[in-house]
Structure 1
Amino acid sequence: MDDLQEFDRYMAHLSEGLGHADRQAGLRGYCTGLLAPLKRKSVEPMAAHLAPSATRSRHQSLHHFVADSAWSDEQMLLRVAQWVVPAMDFSDGGWWIIDDTGFPKQGRHSVGVARQYCGMLGKQDNCQVAVSVTLACQAGSLPVAWQLYLPKEWADDKPRRDKAGVPQDAGFATKPAIALAQIERLLEQGAPKHCVLADAGYGVETAFRERLSELGLPYVVGVTGQVTVWPPGHAPLPPEAYSGRGVVPTRQRLGDAKNQRPQSVKDLAFDLGPSQWQSVEWREGTNFTLRSRFARVRVRAAHRDTERTQLRPEQWVLIEWPEGHREPMKYWLSTLPEELPLQRLVFEAKMRWRIERDYQDLKQELGLGHYEGRGWRGFHHHASLSIAAYGFLMAEQLRHPAGAGKKNSAQRSKPALPTHYKPRGSPAHAAPRPIVHHDFAAAYRRSLAQDTTPMPVLPARKRKATLVTQ
């Protein structure tokens, strides 16, 4: 079966980053279990599926591999990217998508668990939260960085840290700070400077946006309606004239008049005239074309202007206000070029849908949230292996868009929009095609039953440990 041969080559490539040859069986078994048609993909049901007659021993080996074995989850994600990225087409743009996702969790001993906002539940609850960076093109995407958010109550609790195996250098950091550190590591590995996308949880932080600009990364990030800006024709007042005595004034000032103070982007939206709003289509959905009403204005961000000596550069504020709504629905700030057409700016802002699809597939199909251990190492190992299984399927889908995962589908063509995408708001009957190819998993399980010895690992060419990009 061609898929099995390709999977063997993929496993051989990933195995090069494990450090010891005896970990190869654990890698292959764990990834195969994640690809299997199981309702829950924690260690015990995967072991029962892979070895019905030797479930206990397989359970022990899989548990040791994911929870205790000292291989690098960062190296695993790097090698997954080296396999998938060459299949991605960046001819019409590439994006770094920053986001976080939560996993409901009971108790207080699982690493990082705390009462905090959980996007999966849409409210505050007991959960773990991880921050990720995803590399995306129009046809596909792949998480390339993943780190647990450690709440301050955990960062300051040494007994709990020690019991969960939290590394000494893993202190408290905000989610934007974690994301920036991930981006900086990717750039150090040779990653290109694609546009960064993030929601308002990151975009409202001025330091986050400024650091992206310092790194030379353009961005389109969500903000709330309360974020303040200087609209066209308005700016902070220059420093006071030097009196000839004392320190020379260098800081900008705010005036008393209304036009000498910044304005919230929500108020700015209400001040725009009807001619400034346009209906824009940005993508074909499953059953309809996605469109809404948008306006954009060149502004300067406003934040502690009286502590600055120079004006901030201009950027776009993009506003979405659908027809019939009482007020705007979404806002973005963007440093994309001034000459960029409105339709393209909207398209870039809306590319965040890819990370939502990633999380949905990883959680519903590949067991991302099913890990039942409590430790730091196991949490990150399990996530990197879920992403590894997803990476294999994504690469197959990108390379064979007409029939991903099917036998004799060797013809390569330009990547197309994944057929499993279903935009939010679509009718319930417009179900997406699952990314998981269960026929492949079943065939691999049969191959294990026919050969009780470990399957041979095909030799793979040594690759430099850098992020492969186009």
Structure 2
Amino acid sequence: MDTLRDIKMWDSWFEDFFATLASLFCRVEPRLTARAYLKALLGTVERKNSWQISAYIGHGAPDRVKALLRSAVWSADALRDRVRAFVVGHLGDPDAVLVLDETAFLKKGAKSVGVAAQYAGITGNTENCQVAVFAAYVTTAGRALIDFALYLGKTWAGDRERCKEAGVPRDRAKAVVTKPELGRRLIERTRTAGVPFAWVAADSVYGQNRKLRAALERHGKGYVMAVPCDETVEARPLGPMRVDQLVSRLPLVFERRSCGQGAKGGRYYDWAQAEVAWPSAVGSARTGWQHLLLVRRPVSDPAGLAYFAVHARTGTTMTTLVRVAGMRWGVEDCFETAKSDCGLDQYEVRKWEPWHRHIALAIAAFAFLSVSATRTARLNDARERATAPPDDQPAIVWPPLTPHPLLNV
């Protein structure tokens, strides 16, 4: 690998990337600070908060960095839209999977917007934390976070004074918006923006929500979403019953398949499917579409079944369904890398607008990292193909998202 060449290449790509964002910052000072902030998020800053970012970019105090997040005139929503367009421009795929999932940001105190004692998936316990729902754009070429929404639970929504102090918009402060509803809004924003995707994948928090499933069916989108064992499903002539009870009565035929690459190679499970009818606000599946139950059985634990609600075009193969189910794990990789390498969870802001601005900048940094890794992998693959025998073609795998040669400030 030519490290100097790659550093220059990535630096050139970064300047092209920031050029697509620069017009969002009307004044020169916040524009330059935003550019430096993104480079710091991609750089070797140990803790990517205002003080350490300021030190990294050569500021004696964090005033300009804090002003960028708190008072400068620019829109986090507009930045999110530009990032989404950048991702689609490089990774866009009509067969892409849009993955919904939430992640927690552990916090101390009670002032940070949305913070409350609530379940944190990163620890598996109830923690004092903020929770946000994200939409990840996942393809065989790469993946990136393209949208997000902060969850406000019962201790926030309806508390006008607390929300006012944290700068929460009035429409979000009135009542609790559930995680599935936040997910539906992210899907709708993605769809109306013209982003190409064929599938939605999610865990059971979203999969068991019938309104979300119905919305996807109305818009002609496939889904492979986990459901809990007590979700109701119907298979003729047995009638409606719990998923686990239905599975025990069906003559399922399991096939061993890999749903993607993991840290130790292929993730193999035994899979089976059955035609069913999922309760939905739109009734039965439309012409040309079908409802299916997909069942996953661990090779080492035959009793540990997992269940997935499926809406797919008639004739869709199990290979495709297993692939979509496996691509859901892409969002976990996004969270891990965005937090460890791009400072997604390393902010020290409390109010609504600064929180959204930092998260938008962090997913921008992650999108650049992810797309650049994909571009580099494609270049390297092209070089290998140029010298490899005609039949020696490498398999398609996601490129690693560990930082490449780090950008200089």
TM-score by length of 2: 0.88
Consecutive unaligned residues of structure 1, counting only runs of 5 or more, are 235-258, 421-433, 446-470
**Paired residue for 1:382, among 343, 354, 358?**
358
**Paired residue for 2:67, among 60, 64, 69?**
64
Report the equivalent of 1:248: none
Matched, 1:210 2:188: no
Aligned-pair distance for 1:13? 1.3
Report the equivalent of 2:13: 6
Aligned-pair distance for 1:208? 1.3
Report the equivalent of 1:227: 231
* Large movers: runs of 4+ above 6 Å: none
Report the equivalent of 2:403: 436
**For the structure 1 residues 389 and 268, does the alpha-carbon distance in structure 2 shift closer, same or farther, using more than 3 Å as the test?**
same
**Paired residue for 2:96, among 90, 94, 97?**
94
Greater strand proportion: 2
Report the equivalent of 1:73: 76
Aligned-pair distance for 1:129? 0.5
TM-score by length of 1: 0.77
**For the structure 1 residues 264 and 18, does the alpha-carbon distance in structure 2 shift closer, same or farther, using more than 3 Å as the test?**
same
Matched, 1:417 2:403: no
Q: Which residue identity does 2:32 align to in structure 1? A: A
Distance in 2 of aligned mates of 1:309 and 1:142: 31
Q: Which residue identity does 1:417 align to in structure 2? A: V
Matched, 1:391 2:381: no
Q: 1:330-388 CA distances to partner (integer Å, 9 max, x unpaired)?
A: 11011112312212211111110111110000111111111111011111111111111
Distance in 2 of aligned mates of 1:309 and 1:28: 47
Aligned-pair distance for 1:169? 1.9
Q: Which residue identity does 1:71 align to in structure 2? A: W
Aligned-pair distance for 1:419? 4.0
Distance in 2 of aligned mates of 1:198 and 1:21: 41
Distance in 2 of aligned mates of 1:162 and 1:86: 38
**Kept after mapping to 2: 8 A contact 1:319/1:328:** no
Report the equivalent of 1:268: 246
Report the equivalent of 1:251: none
Q: 1:67-117 CA distances to partner (integer Å, 9 max, x unpaired)?
A: 2223111111111222232221527x2111111111111111100001111
Q: Which residue identity does 1:392 align to in structure 2? A: F
Secondary structure of 2:312 counterpart: coil
Identity %: 27
**For the structure 1 residues 39 and 154, does the alpha-carbon distance in structure 2 shift closer, same or farther, using more than 3 Å as the test?**
same
**Kept after mapping to 1: 8 A contact 2:285/2:291:** no
**Kept after mapping to 2: 8 A contact 1:74/1:145:** no
**Paired residue for 1:122, among 119, 124, 134?**
124
Distance in 1 of aligned mates of 2:198 and 2:141: 16
**Kept after mapping to 2: 8 A contact 1:29/1:62:** no
Distance in 2 of aligned mates of 1:18 and 1:122: 40
Matched, 1:277 2:250: no
Secondary structure of 1:289 counterpart: strand
**Kept after mapping to 1: 8 A contact 2:70/2:354:** yes
**Paired residue for 1:322, among 287, 298, 321?**
298
Report the equivalent of 1:200: 204
**Kept after mapping to 2: 8 A contact 1:99/1:132:** yes
Distance in 1 of aligned mates of 2:278 and 2:22: 47
Number of aligned residues: 388
**Kept after mapping to 2: 8 A contact 1:117/1:123:** yes
**For the structure 1 residues 71 and 415, does the alpha-carbon distance in structure 2 shift closer, same or farther, using more than 3 Å as the test?**
farther
Aligned-pair distance for 1:403? 7.0
Matches within 5 A, 1:40-189: 40-51=47-58, 54-56=59-61, 59-88=62-91, 90=93, 93-171=95-173, 172-189=176-193
Secondary structure of 2:53 counterpart: helix
Distance in 2 of aligned mates of 1:217 and 1:316: 14
Aligned-pair distance for 1:174? 0.6
Distance in 2 of aligned mates of 1:139 and 1:284: 13
Q: Which residue identity does 2:200 align to in structure 1? A: V
Q: 1:415-465 CA distances to partner (integer Å, 9 max, x unpaired)?
A: 942343xxxxxxxxxxxxx5223x433xx23xxxxxxxxxxxxxxxxxxxx
Distance in 2 of aligned mates of 1:30 and 1:403: 28
Matched, 1:352 2:328: yes
Aligned-pair distance for 1:397? 1.4
Q: Which residue identity does 2:249 align to in structure 1? A: D
Secondary structure of 2:133 counterpart: strand
Distance in 2 of aligned mates of 1:309 and 1:103: 36
Q: 1:300-326 CA distances to partner (integer Å, 9 max, x unpaired)?
A: 1247xxxx9965665010001123425
